[in-house]
Amino acid sequence: MNVSQRKKDLVMDSVVTVILLVIMLAMLYPFYYVLILSFNKGTDSLLGGIYFWPRNVTFENYAAFLNDPQWYKAFLVTVVRTISGSALGVLLTCLVAYGLSHRELLFSKFYFTMIIFAMYFSGGLIPYYVVLRSVGLLNSFGVYIIPSMLSTFFLLIAISFFREIPGELKESAYMDGANEFVTFYRIILPVSMPLIATMALFMGVGQWNSWVDSAYFVQSDNLRTLAYRMMEVINKSNAPMDAVGAANSASSGVTSYSLQLSAMVVSIAPIVCVYPFLQRFFIHGIMLGSVKG
Amino acid sequence: MNMDSRAMEAVNSEQGRIWKRFKKQWMLHLFVGIGMIFLIVFSYTPMFGIIMAFKNYTISEGIIGIFTSEWVGLKHFDEFINDYQFGTIVRNTLALSLLKVLFTFPAPILLAILLNEVKNGAFKRFAQTVSYLPHFISWVVVVGISFAFLSTDIGLVNKALLRLGLIDMPLDILTNPDYFWGLAVGSAVWKEMGWWTIIFLAAITGINPSLYEAAKIDGAGRLARIRHITLPGMQGTIVVVLILTIGSILGGGLVGSNFEQAFLFGNSINNPTSEIVQTYAFKVGLKDGRFSYAAAIDLIQSVISVALIFSSNYIAKRISGSGLF
């Protein structure tokens, strides 16, 4: 390699590195900024000028978050729906996928047509609302969990995963007299841990972040989710200088804005801890999803 | 007579065999059947419910009312088309959808190429992991972060610009209608660029390394290698992602929901550019209780979406010889 080419290479390497560093900063700094503000005294934050670290360190925003029954309840609802929603979603989707993974299954063409068609077409929000109302899910906790239990996207992924499992495993279970459910429960699920972990984590993130169903289908104040509460604050503070500036009570330094910041950190933190471990499952999942779905 | 009975026997034994097989796998059909019940209740019943768009349906009539209420033909469609907001809403929906595809589609391709040029494996992995963090964060939080940076009274950007004396008045990015489309596109790029980079980077990894070696020997520089090897190597993936994007363009493409963006970033001041078909349908449907009217508005969008899926698939088949279905 001659000198001029090496020079060019060096220039290009530097340009690439600088652009990537800028992108990384743009991705990370907003989260960091929210984090430091959430540990800063709320009334002090309104003055601005905080860039790198909190100026007036305090935990009272988090204390206020935990002491506010509305936020606290929303947090609990979100935790419960995340755990139960992803657990039930994984179980049902895997169970249905296990049935469909048998190549000798009768009517499987019919079943698959039903699934693919449902992936492409939907009735839209309004008829869906009427259906939820008529099955009694409206304004109940079940609306967060039951309609999303069967994921057509993960159904296809799980089917192809189960088809890779060596048939001998199932054969030996049948020989021992196990029926299909026992085989599924005792043999198939334990060897499908990577699949289950991926599904649970993706469904869990979806449940954790969800607010649209709470806005559409729920009126009760007791069933609001964390993301819904944050949405409410955003909607209120659209009128400038309204909710943002108002301190919660005269004596404390907490504002509804700083309370919102601590809620945002509570909402972001578990995701930041979990998502880097999902990486190895992504590519397979996206590829399969985009080819079939 | 004789032939008939023999045929009957054949049919009977055929049926018998199927019945025997079915009896053997009845439990599997039970599993699948539970899934089919979910599909029928939550996917197929709403599809039939679409007919309410052609009726005068009120929610108090329950689900049966969808079928028993009075037909009114295209009345609701007429009303929507003659609504004074119709032009604005359609323009906003199309502008938002097209702008988002225009900017969010090339961004991950460029980022994937950039990442591929990094020689240090650890830095590359770290940069990639960082870049798709925002994908997992809900739009609510993204909008909350935007407030912390852009709002006129507390936003970091406005405060900093004021302090530096670059502006005299805070920029009303979150409320000015002129900024809304840029805001939606920018936040969509920020949130989803890294996520879609994964699939394009996987495509680059699949390129045979000997191609690069050969090009190097032929004296091709790095930019030439990107142009003649990396980009062509990604072509198949680019086509697939493009079809998927165009098919879902009215919902926001692959980069997140138009509805969530328009609803969360939208407010009474930037409404002239932020009101889209879906937010309007939500307001007149679930908030005002005009179910048939909202269903009709929804249906218009669904029909256009389905047409887009099929036409983009058809075009892809003509161009590259392979579509999705």
Tell me which DSSP letter residue B166 carries: S
Q: What share of chain B is helix, strand, coil (3-state, %, to 5)?
A: 80, 0, 20
Residue B325 within a domain: no
Which stretches within B206-270 are classed as H helix?
209-217, 222-225, 231-247, 258-265
Tell me which DSSP letter residue B70 carries: P
Please indicate, yes or no, whether residues B203 and B272 belong to a single structural domain of this protein.
yes
User: What's the predicted TM-score (pTM) here?
Assistant: 0.88
Quote the CA–CA distance of A219 and A207 in Å, as a whole number.
18
CA angle (A196, A118, A202) in 5-degree steps: 25
Higher pLDDT, A287 or B273: B273
At B172, phi and psi to the nearest 5? -90, 55
Please indicate, yes or no, whether residues B111 and B40 belong to a single structural domain of this protein.
no
Q: SS3 for A229?
A: helix
Quote the CA–CA distance of B77 and B74 in Å, as a whole number.
5
CA distance A207 to chain B (A): 10
Q: Read off the pLDDT of each residue in A94-109 and give the average, rounded to a whole number.
A: 93
B-chain residues near A131 (CB < 8 A): 41-42, 45-46, 49, 63
Please indicate, yes or no, whether residues B192 and B274 belong to a single structural domain of this protein.
yes
Q: Read off the pLDDT of each residue in A122-146 and give the average, rounded to a whole number.
A: 92
Please indicate, yes or no, whether residues B232 and B114 belong to a single structural domain of this protein.
yes
- Predicted local confidence at residue A23, as pLDDT: 96
Q: What is the mean pLDDT of chain B?
A: 88
Give me the domain span that covers residue B263.
75-320
What lies within 8 Å, CB to CB, of A146 at 6+ separation is A137
* pLDDT tens per residue, range B181-203: 999 999 999 999 998 898 899 88
What lies within 8 Å, CB to CB, of A76 at 6+ separation is none
Contact A264 B298 (CB under 8 A): no
Contact B49 A130 (CB under 8 A): yes
- Predicted local confidence at residue A290, as pLDDT: 47
Residue A226 pLDDT greater than 90, yes or no? yes
Place of tokens 């008529």: A134
Please indicate, yes or no, whether residues B286 and B307 belong to a single structural domain of this protein.
yes
**Hey, of A28, A126, A211, which one would you mutate to test binding to chain B, going by the most B CBs within 10 A of its CB?**
A126
Residue A277 pLDDT greater than 70, yes or no? yes
Give me the number of domains chain B comprises: 2
Collect contacts of A188-195 with beta carbons under 8 A, ≥24 apart. A188/A94, A188/A98, A188/A162, A189/A94, A191/A165, A192/A94, A192/A158, A192/A161, A192/A162, A192/A165, A194/A281, A195/A94, A195/A157, A195/A158, A195/A161
B-chain residues near A260 (CB < 8 A): 144
- Predicted local confidence at residue A275, as pLDDT: 82
Instruction: For B150, name the nearest residue in chain A, comparing CA atoms only.
Output: A30
Point out the residue among A123, A210, A227 whose CB comes nearest to the CB of B47: A123
With residue B291 as reference, give the H or E element that holds it.
helix B291-320
Q: Which of B68, B85, B109 is the last residue of a domain?
A: B68
The dihedral formed by the CA atoms of B56, B61, B64 and B68, expressed in degrees to the nearest 10: -40
What lies within 8 Å, CB to CB, of B79 at 6+ separation is B293
How far is residue A292 CA from its own chain's centroid? 22
Please indicate, yes or no, whether residues B248 and B127 belong to a single structural domain of this protein.
yes
Residue B298: which CATH number? 1.10.3720.10
Residue B16 within a domain: yes
Residue A225 pLDDT grade (very low, low, confident, very high; cuts 50, 70, 90) = very high
Quote the CA–CA distance of B146 and B264 in Å, as a whole number.
11
Q: Read off the pLDDT of each residue in B57-70 and give the average, rounded to a whole number.
A: 86
* pLDDT tens per residue, range B92-145: 999 999 999 899 999 999 999 999 999 898 999 899 999 989 999 999 999 999
B-chain residues near A244 (CB < 8 A): 151, 153-154
What lies within 8 Å, CB to CB, of A206 at 6+ separation is A148
Please indicate, yes or no, whether residues B56 and B162 belong to a single structural domain of this protein.
no
Which stretches within chain A are classed as H helix?
3-38, 42-45, 60-67, 69-100, 108-120, 125-134, 142-145, 152-164, 167-175, 180-182, 189-191, 193-209, 212-217, 226-236, 256-274, 279-292
DSSP states along A152-211 = HHHHHHHHHHHHHS-HHHHHHHHHTT--HHHIIIIIIHHHTHHHHHHHHHHHHHHHHH--
Residue B319: both structure tokens together? 């161009």
What lies within 8 Å, CB to CB, of B203 at 6+ separation is B112, B233, B234, B236, B237, B238
Q: Which of B52, B68, B84 is the last residue of a domain?
A: B68
Contact A31 B21 (CB under 8 A): no
Residue A199: both structure tokens together? 């599904």
Residue A129: both structure tokens together? 């609302």
Q: SS3 for A98?
A: helix
Domain covering A60-292 in this structure, CATH number: 1.10.3720.10
Quote the CA–CA distance of A266 and A262 in Å, as a whole number.
6
Please indicate, yes or no, whether residues B184 and B231 belong to a single structural domain of this protein.
yes
Residue A282 pLDDT grade (very low, low, confident, very high; cuts 50, 70, 90) = low
Instruction: For B300, name the nearest residue in chain A, comparing CA atoms only.
Output: A124
Q: Read off the pLDDT of each residue in A35-58 and give the average, rounded to a whole number.
A: 89
Quote the CA–CA distance of B53 and B295 in Å, as a whole number.
5
Q: Lowest-confidence range among A241-250, B123-132, B233-242?
A: A241-250
Residue B216 within a domain: yes
Residue B325 pLDDT greater than 70, yes or no? no
Residue B307 within a domain: yes
Cβ atoms of B263 and B282 within 8 Å: the answer is yes
Residue of B48, B91, B88 lying closest to B295 (CA atoms): B48
Residue of B254, B238, B207, B245 lying closest to B322 (CA atoms): B238
ipTM: 0.87
Q: Which of B19, B41, B68 is the last residue of a domain?
A: B68
- Predicted local confidence at residue A291, as pLDDT: 43
